[in-house]
Each structure stands twice: as C-alpha cells, then as structure tokens.
Amino acid sequence: MTTIQRRRVVITGMGTVNPCGTTVAETWDNLLAGKSGIGLITKFDTTDFSCKIAGQIKGFQPDLYIDKKDQKKMDLFIQYAMAASHDAMEDSGLAAMALSKAERELFGIAIGSGIGGLSTIFEESNGYRGPRRTSPFFIPSLIINLAGGFVSIKYGLQGPSSAVATACATGTHAIGDAARQIMFGYADRMIAGGSDSVINPLGVGGFAAMRALSTRNDAPTEASRPFDKGRDGFVMSEGAGIVVLEEYELAKARGAKIYAEISGYGMSSDAHHITSPSEDGDGPMRVMNAAIKDAGIAPEQIGYVNAHGTSTPAGDRIECSALKRVFGDYARKLKVSSTKSMTGHLLGAAGGLETIVCALVGHTGKIPPTINVVNQDPDCDLDVTANVAGTFDGEYTLNNNFGFGGTNGCLVLRKL
C-alpha cells in the first residue's frame, strides 16, 4: 500500500465580524478585556418573544467590502463572509499578489453556514406577492454555497469549492476539510470558515420554541454564562470567522506571517438525538481523541481548550465530563475557556471565530476569560479561566464545536 505524505498546513490570514468586533484586532482586545457583545435585540419588535437578547453586530459597513448593487443580491450571512474573507486575504498578503492561473486553480474555498439565508427567506415569504414579483436574486442570495461562491468570484479562485452545513460544528468542519485538501495535495491554499445571520423573528422564535435560548433579558451582558450554575441557555449571535490556509513550505517561501499550524482534525457523531448530546459525552470524547491522535501528540501536550461552552445546562456539563475522560488527571491542569460568554453563539460561524481565538492564544500567549462565572457548577470543576484573562506558554491548543444532530468537530492547532 502506498504511503501518502501529508503536507503541513498553516494559517496565514484571519478575518471576522462578530458582536465583539468588526476586525480581528478589535475582537481580540475586547475578548481579553472580558467585554460582552450581547444586548437587547433591536432588529425587530420583541414584545411577544420570551427571548429579547442577542449578539448583534454593531458598526458593520458593507460598503467597505461590497458594491451597493451587489449587496442587494446577498443575504447578511454572505455579506459577513465577504467582509471577513476580505480582511483575511488582506492579512495574509495574498490580496496584493498577482496570482497566476495555475496558482488560482489550486486556491479553493470552504465556507459554510449552519442555516444560510433565513432572513431572506423570512422577508420574501412575509411579503410574498406572487411568482411574477419574486426577485431573481432570491435563491442566489440565500443558498449556503453562495457565500463561498461570491468570495471565489471576487478573487478568481478556481480550486476545490465546498460549503459545509453541519449546524454549530460548521466552521470547524469547513476549516478541517479545507486543511485536508491542502494536506493531500488537492489545493495549495484555501479560504475557510463559517458565517451565519439568523437574528430575525423566525430564527429567534424557532430557537426559543425549543427552549434553547437564555431569557435573562434584564441583564443581557450576563446572560451567556458557560460553566456557571445559573446558566439557562445560549445567546444567539451573528457573524463570520474566516481563515486563509496555506501549505507550509509555500507560505514560508513567500515570507508569510504564520499564526499557527493545523496539526489535527477530528469528526464524530453521537447518533443519539436530534438536538441533545448523549449524557455520557461519548461523541465529544471521541472527537477530541481523534483530533489529538491525528496531530500525533499526547493529550498532555494540549495547553488550552476553547470549549464549545454554549451556556446550556446539559451541554456544558457533558463537555466537561468528556474533557475529564480525554485528559484524565491532567484535566485539572488544563486551561479552558468559552469565548461564547462574550460573543454569544455564532452558530455555523462559531468554529471559524474560535479557531481564530485558538491561533491567537498560541500566537500571543494570552487566554481570553470565561466571563459571568459567579457560582461555578461543581460538575464543571475545571480551570475555566474565570472572569480574568490568563496566560499560555504551551505549544498546542484545541477547539471544540458540537452541533444539532450529534455532529462534532475538533481542531488541534500548533504554535509556530
């Protein structure tokens, strides 16, 4: 049997728009300061809604990234993906390079979304005036693969193109899948991540009907409280998290800035329930073990975990249990935090943003806190970096994301 030599894959560019910032720098500063991006919903009248809070993006200026005429063709989730991809490409230095046709044919896209253009669907159906009045841009503005489609058209990228849709694991799966395209020679470079925007009556109403959302409406900035005994559900947010991935030798040869290496990637399925994780945490345990094995390291070499940590009563407890099963006694020494305590839950974009966080933890040696930990749940008795930023001096970080349907994703990043 022929042995396939894996190529190394690194992150050379990053971009995000989210409730804590419209740039990576602004986001990172706010996360380290423990500043929440959660507030009262202003996009629609929430009088009849049990949940009145969300993580909305503030100060987003689409004109900086997209022509006005094209904005009408794009749901917000596409606009967010375009903005974050623009910043990631600029950050990588590739936007300024004149890429040859051969280079563009090996430059691909893997941008996913958990739900896609729900806002466009809601608006079009709410004001439906018959088939003759339906916009020809209705379908292109809402389907999930058009986020990557618009980005690939902008930069003329003709390599592998895919659009992952695995609920809240989307961003992590998209980045992991993109990394494998490069590892095994199908591409040299990839733009990868996730984007979502479903803060509308249909989206909020749907999640609220499942009793998944926090209803701490009188204190929005305190509503997302992973690992705290008083947590009552997640806070829905919107945004995008995008990275540029490159083959290591190619990036090094052009003198690119390197944030981190994608060392390991794991996937698993709970095969248990459409929304609830299995009580024994078997799926999360197996996906972490898979990613660590793929990285070729021991669990004790992981120094920091960005937990899925959504602030749901069952989810946080089960994830902590899985961490203890994976890391054993070392779990007590492991640094953990959930940045969703500040950003809220970006759904399909969460994995993209949180991969950026893990890369920056290794790159800067700083760990964002888990805020709002007032009365830590005894079932979540790990070092969750409560309320104050910490420090990191290890080599490897790990990012967890788990989605409805029992789909799980995990990435291991190495500091370079």
DSSP strand pairing (9-17 vs 239-247): antiparallel
**Backbone region of residue 321 per phi and psi (left: phi > 0; alpha: psi in -120 to 50; beta: other values):** alpha
Type of residue at 323: L
Active-site entry in 86, 173, 308, 363: 308
In the annotation, is 345 catalytic?
Answer: yes
Q: How far apart are CA 95 and CA 413, in angstroms?
A: 24
Active-site entry in 168, 358, 380, 410: 168
Cβ neighbour number for residue 68 with a 10 Å cutoff: 8
Q: How far apart are CA 377 and CA 358, in angstroms?
A: 24
86 SS3 class: helix
In the annotation, is 168 catalytic?
Answer: yes
Active-site entry in 20, 86, 173, 345: 345
Q: In 254-404, where does DSSP find H-type helix?
A: 282-295, 313-327, 340-343, 350-364
Owner of token pair 């200026």: 61
Cβ neighbour number for residue 40 with a 10 Å cutoff: 12
CB neighbour class for 102 (10 Å; exposed up to 12, middle 13-18, buried from 19): exposed
In the annotation, is 272 catalytic?
Answer: no
- By annotation, the residues acting in catalysis are 168, 308, 345
